[in-house]
Structure formats: structure tokens, C-alpha cells
Chains A and B, each alone.
Chain A
């Protein structure tokens, strides 16, 4: 016989699994600090690659000028400036990633806690059903004997 409450709980679990459950379970494989570090690492890589691309495009844009003035340019100053901008952008992204990752982890953790709670309820209902089924079988056997 269909257990209404169990069906409802399972439906909710399934919907959660379908949408956010997969991501949350991935996050749950890490401790919070590890997850935050991983996200920061991803940000560092992303920003570095993006910044390199932008630098290449700028160099391409000013290529003629650079070739003409190759001997006159103050490379130390240019390098320092590029590095300073890079560090600034990186710092901003690290802070943003830190906040975002922490927030996302905490949210997912809460969702997962509720999800596991629901799974526990489903398990309890299943156990109750099993117990009732066993009782029925025993009664049936007794009746037959």
C-alpha cells in the first residue's frame, strides 16, 4: 500500500537530487576550508589566464609602437605596473571567491542536513513498513499452521 508521507518525502528528495543535490553532494566531499581553498585556487588560475590573455591582446594592439620604441621603453616600470594591476585584481577576486565559496558551502550544508533528515525519516518509515510486513507474514504463517 502506498504510504502518502513517504511518497511525499521521497518526491522532495528526488526534486532536490535533480536540481541542487548533485552540486551539494560534490561540495560535501570537502571540508569547508578545503572547499574554499579549492575555489580560491580556481579563481587564481582563472584570473591569471584571463589577465595573460588581456596582456597579450594589449601587446598585440600596441605591437607597432612597441617594436618602434623597443630600446626606449622602461620595461621595469611597465612590468611593475602590470604586476601591480594583476595583484590588485587577484586580491579582489580572492576576497570575492572566499565570500562566495563560504556562503555557497554553508547554504549547501544546510540543505544537505535537511536532506539527510528527510532520508532518515524515509528510512524510519521503511523500517516500520518492514516490521509491519514481517508481523503480517508471521500472522499468516500462524494461521496456516
Chain B
């Protein structure tokens, strides 16, 4: 029995030593070029493939992969091919786990957050701690943006104050003397971020009464929200949520006595799949902003070329695909490629970050792809690649960008 003590003590000592080694030591410089080999750069990405935000993550994965294929077909970056490791993550906990797995187990060089605000918010602390170069594609949430982090860059989705301002402007373009404006926002992460931006922009408008209503993710019945708008005689509604949520709200509006309404939708709701929900004949007065200059169904040459590439790889698209997240995932990967190319031989985290901060007007055509997004530029103090938004409306049965 006496032999017990030393053993226990030794194992505790060992464990504590390990603990100290793991928990307290700062990351050494050698971790900084993980995932880079002679002929390969491993990039990791996470997003939801299942669940209510799968309409963000799955297109993100497909868009990034399509771009990776295109870049590799052009010979890669300075002789190195890109390899994508994508991890499914829906809940915040899964997002942290996926980020940990990608950085610590798969040893990726760059982490792409293709998950929307929920995942981006959850992973924010982790990526700040590790310092891994991170590209936030879709998260509008302030949690990933503030305070400024040297290693975190943002793509086509601008912060909520920009998109919120744009949406409010669209209302007053359609109804210049609107006095009662409704805000219909989901209770989950990105609609809440947009809602904050909307309320900030509405505050600047004098004599405008704002009616705020919320709904849960995946809501299909908007009775209580629409009745509240009807009772308070709201003239225009700003919707922050997914296309299905916005679609059913607009569809049910006349059933609850809400007519002649102007609807302005968040970019994530601007999707062709919304049209069969509300019916092509009821699309008057529905507007939205779009994060890229073209809709998939438009006939401009870059987007036509993009659609061809998509179909060649993934076959006939299901309803609502490719969507804005496909396009943004695609074009952003080219922006990342431009940063990697600029870093040249210095493929360390620090090297990539400082190269990234000098990237100007990066676009897919730099690597032979069609330019389906606004070009992105960065600086050491501004990591937001894109701040432009297109104004969109439904014309001839499809969404179209009517002003860039």
C-alpha cells in the first residue's frame, strides 16, 4: 500500500507538467507555417452542412472548392497546390470544436469561417487566441469584428452598420415619406447583428416610428408579428432573416390584413427560392441588397461563365442554388489566393498577414476566374475587403441587381 503514494505523486507531477506545457506556454514560432509543404498549402474551412444555416455552409464549401480547383488548374500559387479541409459545424460548440480540429489536428495554414455569424461569433475568441490567419466570409456579427484583430480578415459581407444603412436607404427610396417602419428580425446571431445596424440607421431618421418584431429560426407562422404591424399601420418592413423566413412573412401578410407593403430584405433572404413562396405575382414592393454584383439567373457574361463552372462540377443545381454564398465563397478564395501569392516565400502566419494587408483590388480574374464579386482591398487598419452592396429587386420573375 505504501508504494501507492510515490506513484500517484509522480503521475500528478507528470500531469501537471504536461498541463503547464500545454496550457501556459505561448505558441512558438514554429507553429506559424503549419500546413505548408513543398507543394501544398492546406486551408481549413468550417460551416453548417446540416441544420437551419446549411444554406450558408454548404454553398460556402462548394464555392471554395470550385475556386480551389480553378486555382490549382492554373498551376496553384507559386508552385503550391491548395488543399481544402472542410468541417461541418452548426451549433456554436461544434464551431469551436471544428476550429480546434482544423488548427490543432489538421494543422491548416489558414482558417476560413464559412459559417455565418453564429459560427463566427463562437470561434472568435479561439482564432484570436491562436493567431491563425482567419478569413471571415459571411459573419456580420460585431463579435468577430470588434475589437480589431490582426489575424482576422473579412470578405464580401460588410459589417451590419453598412448593410443596415443600405436597407434603410432603400425604404426611403421606395417610400420617401414613410413614417412607420417595421423591423422583423430573427432571434439568432446574424439577424440580431443586422437588427442593431438597422436600428442605428433608423435612429438618424426623424419622426419615424419603429416597430420591432422578432421570430425564431426556421419560423413558418408570422401571425403575431404581422398583426402587430397591421395594428400599428406600418408602411414598410425591414426583414432580417433567411429567404424562407422572409418568404413566409411576405406570403402571409395579406392573410393578416397587411397590404401595400414595402419589404426590404437582408442579403441572406435575397434568393430566387423566395419567389415560389410568395408567388411571382406578389413580388411588387420587395427589395433587398445583394453582396455581389450579379444574380445567378442574370445573363451578364461573368455570372454565365460562373454558372457553367458550377454545373460542370456539381451538376444541375437544386432550387435556390447557386446562391450568394456560393458566389462569395468562390470569389473570396481568389482573394485569399492573391494574399498567399503576395506572401511569396514567406509562408508563415506573420508573413501571410502582412502580405494580406497590402492586397488591393483582388478578384478572380487574377487567376483566370470570372469576376462575380466586387474586388477586395485591405490595409493594416482595415481588414474589411468589400463594402459595396448592390440593390436588388424582382424583375421578370427573377431577382436582379438593379443598381451597383
Is B truly associated with A? no
Enumerate chain B interface residues (CB-CB to A < 8 A). Answer: none
Partner-B contacts on A (CB < 8 A): none
